[in-house]
Structure 1
Amino acid sequence: MTVSELYGELRPRAFAIAYRMLGSVSEAEDVVQEAFLRTHQTLQRDEQIASPRAYIATLVTRLAIDQLRSARARRERYVGEWLPEPLVTGPTPAEHAETADSLSLAFLVLLENLSPQQRAAFLLREVFDYPYPEVAEIIGTDVDSARHLVARARTHLRDRRPRYHASRRQREELARSFFAAAGQGDLRALEALLAQDVALHGDGGGKVPALGRPVNGRERVARTMVAGMSALARFGVRLQPIEVNGGPGAMAFDAQDRLVGVFGLGIVDGRIQTIHSIVNPDKLRHLGEVSDLGLRARAGMRPGRDA
């Protein structure tokens, strides 16, 4: 099998691992490209690869661990709250529902609490269902250590990992009602859609106006969303419903059809539990042309006004 054929067959799994490891589309793409480049070089040397699937998974995971170690230092200096780069997804077959859950923005944020090796071991075992001997081989440790890494990760994530049971239609209807109520300034209708402990997160990376810290609680989140939607409307911004990281959401476009930001919603027990607003231009470029609206708004703001 040629490298091109291997790429077509194995790239989806390779990207799935890398993206969940890094929370970045651009960094995941770089890791996948490097893994296949190394595979190509190995084959050119006429070296045998017993299992291309295991070989690529090993390269991707180890490269992602190295990348994550350097990225963690950068994220400690990040301005405001760090959120993953959004991934626009499509309808997910039922048999991949568990894997789709692991794409959620809320879940990827939780993974930030794990060490790079814990994150790798947990994802390989709990999301991609690799047996412990393969997990150990991929991350370069023994089986007992791999079990310990997964157990530690489970402890960190216990009772916090989001589980979404609503049907696709229910999620879409709830999202549609949410954005309509926020856009119309209907606080009562909006609050009825939110969980009591709902949390609103924003990521502007210090480059465009965004929340400096999470907003928690039904009333505060509702008021913040109404104010934010009102501001977007004054600038002629429109919303387009999409699926973000396996869940309902929307892309915000300016009058020139350039991307302003992405909203992702997490729904639990028929209520919106989390709202993620990603407006950092660097995290949107993989989705298309990015608006300069946020940059212009920031330039026009007085010191201390950046939320």
Structure 2
Amino acid sequence: MTAEGGVPAAALDREQLLASLRPVAFGIAYRMLGSVTEAEDVVQEALLRVHRSLEAGEQIDSPRAFTATVTTRLAMDELRSARVRRERYVGDWLPEPILTDGRGADEDPARQTETADALSMALLVLLESLSPEQRAVLLLHDVFGYGYGEVATIVGKGEANVRQLAVRARRHVEERRPRFTTTPAQQSDLASRFFAAARTGDLAGLESLLAHDVELVGDGGGKAPSLARSQHGRSRVAHTLTNWLRALRHLPEMEIRLAEVNGDPGAMFLVEDRLLAVWALDIRDGQVAGVRAVVNPDKLAHLGPVGDAGALIRRLGGARPDS
């Protein structure tokens, strides 16, 4: 039996199945790895293995569970090999940002995963401090809703061991993850005021929106001008942000485009329609508690054309973001 166009119906059904499994695989891989590039490689390999199993006539009772298992194990292997690379990373490491409001260059539905707190940069940074096994167990159980028995099968460990891993991972994350009560409407309003103050260089206005212990983190990866180290404190962060943007305001083609970044309020910074940076705000109790700025061009390429931040700095007279 063939479908319209001469394509075998079974092959068409298989293609549709693999397409439906792609968001599952990407959701797991991205949260495990914090990298769109690495996640895409894992997803491609995972779906290829699913395809080969189906082609070989293997009976798969739950394609979703099978895909989750293959993806998780591949991601764990990738994490182990990535550890050395990340230990040598220049400066602070941040996840590759994804736009979660459906806008921007990325129209791949696999990347338009649910905009839950489990996508936030703050959480993904915390997950970096967990072992691959802890990260997998926490995500599979707490985020994706798999039972401990299913998680044990996926990661290849006993259920009692998995429960222990989950408890330790959860405790580690919760101890370092402040709770906050801010509605989406409040977040949107605060973000609009924050970026309006940033646009105009309103130092006092910007400072009034920051928490007293606000943290500013920049990720240039040694490939773009960025902070040498993270900065803390309302006054220092406000002055740094103001200095960072003062020169850019003289560029008529500079645009700050508000966006939802990893489920949080944020913005894309573009010059001549080329992306220079993506910022994500961590808003807590009505104040901006964290600003995470990704300027590493390798981490922005999946969002569209990327500008040369170093050349721009030279064009503007050498001002640095941490000056």
CA distance in 1, matches of 2:273, 2:62: 45
State the shift of 1:12 in Å: 1.4
- The equivalent residue for 2:19 is 8
Per-residue CA deviations over 1:138-197 (Å, capped at 9, x if unaligned) read 001110110011111012112322545422222111111001112222222111111111
Residue 228 of structure 2 corresponds to residue 217 of structure 1: no
Asked if the contact 1:187/1:226 (under 8 Å) is kept, the reply is yes
How do 1:66-215 and structure 2 match up within 5 A? 66-90=77-101, 100-163=116-179, 165-215=181-231
Deviation of 1:297 (Å): 4.4
* Map of 2:311 onto structure 1: 296
Q: Superposition RMSD on alpha carbons, in Å?
A: 2.2
Q: CA deviation at 1:75?
A: 0.6
In the TM superposition, what whole-angstrom CA distance separates every residue of 1:224-255 from its partner, at most 9, and x where no partner exists?
A: 1111111222344210000000010000110x
The 3-state SS of whatever aligns with 1:89 is coil
- CA-to-aligned-CA distance 1:108-159 (integer Å, 9 cap, x gap): 0010110011000011111111100001000011101100111110121123
* CA gap 1:177/1:298 in 2 versus in 1, 3 angstroms: closer
Match of 2:260 in 1: 243
DSSP-derived class of the 1:205 partner: coil
Q: Which residue of 1 aligns with 2:283?
A: 267
Q: What SS does structure 1 have at the residue aligned with 2:247?
A: helix
Question: In the alignment, is the contact (CA less than 8 A) between 1:99 and 1:128 conserved in 2?
Answer: no
Task: Please say if residues 181 and 189 of structure 1, whose CA atoms lie closer than 8 Å, have aligned partners that are also in contact.
Answer: yes
Mapped contact 1:172–1:248 kept (Cα < 8 A): yes
In the other structure, the counterpart of 2:109 is: none
Q: Which amino acid aligns with 2:125?
A: V
Contact kept? 1:298, 1:306, Cα under 8 Å: no
Among residues 285, 288, 294, which one is paired with 1:278 in the alignment? 294
- CA shift digits 1:58-91 (9 cap, x unpaired): 0000000001111111010011101000010028
Amino acid at match of 2:222: G
Measured against aligned partners, the alpha-carbon deviations of 1:29-76 in whole angstroms (never above 9, x if no partner) come to 111111110111111111111210110000000000001111111010
Q: Give the letter for the 1:83 counterpart.
A: L
Q: Bigger shift: 26-35 or 273-282?
A: 26-35
Describe the SS at the equivalent of 1:158: helix
User: Are the structure 2 counterparts of residues 306 and 250 from structure 1 closer, same or farther at C-alpha, using a change threshold of 3 Å?
Assistant: closer
Kindly, what percent of the aligned residue pairs are identical?
55
Does the 8 A contact of 2:115 with 2:262 survive in 1? no
Query: Which moved further from structure 2: 206-215 or 2-11?
Result: 2-11
Gaps of 5+ in 1: 92-96
Q: Please tell me whether the aligned partners of residues 86 and 262 of structure 1 are also in contact (alpha carbons under 8 angstroms).
A: yes
> 1:47 maps to which residue?
58
The answer to whether the aligner puts 1:19 opposite 2:27 as a matched pair is no
The 8 Å contact of residues 182 and 222 in structure 1, kept in 2 or not, is answered as no
How many residue pairs get aligned? The number is 300
Give the superposition deviation at 1:99.
6.4
| One-letter code aligned to 1:240 | R
Larger radius of gyration, structure 1 or 2? Answer: 2
1:8, distance to aligned residue in structure 2 (A): 2.6
CA–CA separation in structure 2 for the residues paired with 1:129 and 1:162: 23
CA distance in 2, matches of 1:187, 1:300: 24
* Aligned residue type for 1:11: R
The residue type equivalent to 2:286 in the other structure is G
Q: TM-score, normalised by structure 1?
A: 0.92
Shift of residue 3 of structure 1?
2.9
Name the CA distance, whole Å, in 2 between partners of 1:3 and 1:219.
57
Q: Distance in 2 between matches of 1:212 and 1:115?
A: 27
